[in-house]
Amino acid sequence: MTDSRPYVGRFAPTPSGPLHFGSLVAAVGSWLDARVHSGQWRLRIDDLDSQRIAPGSIHSILKTLERFGLVWDGEVLYQSSRFDAYFEALNTLGEARKTFPCSCTRKQLSGFEIYPGTCRGEYNVEPRSIRFSVGLGTVNWMDAGLGLMKKDLASEIGDFVLRNAHGVYGYHLANVVDDIHQGVTHVVRGADLAPFTAAHILLQETLGGDKVQYHHLPLAVDERGRKLSKQTHAPAVDLMSTHSALQAVFVHLKLPMVEQGTSEAMLADAIVHWRNRPRR
C-alpha cells in the first residue's frame, strides 16, 4: 500500500563533536531521498544529554551542512526544548502499563547484551531508571536498504531504557516522540541504527504514531573495520575539500561519479542518480 502522506524526512545528529564522514553519509543520503520525493528534510539536534555536548559543535554542524549545500526545511528542532513532551509520553506509556521501574546499576548489568528482566514485575523497587516492557513476539519491517528485517522482542531487543538514572530521557523515546511531532514519514540513516528500529516501531505503535518507512545506509568504517564515530576518533569533515568529500559519499552510496562543480550542482546530479538507482 502506498503512503499518501507528504514525505517528511529528517537528519538528527548528536552534537558531541563536528560531523565526520559517517554522519555526512547519513545527511546526504537522507537529503537526497527527501528531494527525490519532493519532500521536506528536517534538522533535529539530539542535545538531550548536556554532558555529551562538545562546545561549539552545534554551530559547527549547522555550518558544515550549509557548506555542503544540505539546506534543511523549517526551524531546527532542539531536543533539549522538548522535555515536557517526553514527560507526557512517558506518562502515557505508564498509563498503558508498558513501563516499569528498574533499580539495576550498570555494574549489575555488565555482561548482559540484552536486559535480563531483573526488575520486570517488581513495581516496589527503588527506581533508578524507567524501562519499556517489550513483551513477547517479533517485529517485522521492510527496510529500503536492508530488505526484510525481523527482530525477536525478548531475545534481540529486551526491555529498553526510557529515562535513565540521571533523569535523562532515552534516545529511543525522544526519537519517536519527535518523529511523531514532526510528522516524519521516512527515516534514512546509518545501518548501525538498524537494530534499534524494532524498539522505535513498538513505541510508535504504542503512542499512536503513523507508520514510518526505514532505509538504512551502508555503514562507514575506518581502516580497522570500526564504525566511524567520536569514540574511534573519526576526523571532522574537511570543509576545504567539499568536492572530494561529496564524491566519496556518492561512491559509498554506490552512486555514479558526478562532475565537480558547486556543492549544489553536484547534489543536483546526485538526485538524478538516487532516483534511478536499483531498488530492493
pLDDT of residue 223: 66
Domain membership flag for residue 1: no
Question: Does the pLDDT of residue 98 top 80, yes or no?
Answer: yes
Of 120-129, 204-213, 216-225, 255-264, which one has max mean pLDDT?
Answer: 204-213
pLDDT digits (tens, 9 = 90+) for 14-50: 999 889 899 999 999 999 999 999 999 999 999 998 8
Section 142-169 average pLDDT: 94
- Can you count the helices (H) and strands (E) in the chain? 8, 10
Domain membership flag for residue 64: yes
For 109, the grid coordinates are 548489568
Instruction: Find how far residue 132's CA is from the centre of its chain.
Output: 19
Residue-number span of the structural domain to which 201 is assigned? 8-276
Domain membership flag for residue 149: yes
The CATH number given to whatever domain includes residue 92 is: 3.40.50.620
Section 68-90 average pLDDT: 97
How many structural domains is the chain composed of? Answer: 1
Q: pLDDT band for position 237 (50/70/90)? A: confident
If one compares 269 and 3, the residue with the highest pLDDT of the two is 269
Question: Does the pLDDT of residue 277 top 90, yes or no?
Answer: no
Average pLDDT, the chain: 91
Please choose, from the candidates 32, 58, 40, the residue with its C-alpha nearest in 3D space to the C-alpha of residue 252: 32
Question: Does the pLDDT of residue 2 top 80, yes or no?
Answer: no
pLDDT of residue 1: 45
pLDDT of residue 262: 87
For 218, the grid coordinates are 551502508
For 63, the grid coordinates are 555550518
Domain membership flag for residue 20: yes
Domain membership flag for residue 3: no
Tell me how far apart the terminal alpha carbons of the chain are, to the nearest angstrom. 16
User: Counting beta carbons within 10 angstroms of the beta carbon of residue 267, is it exposed (0 to 12), middle (13 to 18) or buried (19 or more)?
Assistant: buried
For 236, the grid coordinates are 571532522
User: pTM of the prediction?
Assistant: 0.92
Alpha-carbon gap, residue 21 to 27, rounded angstroms: 10
Domain membership flag for residue 217: yes
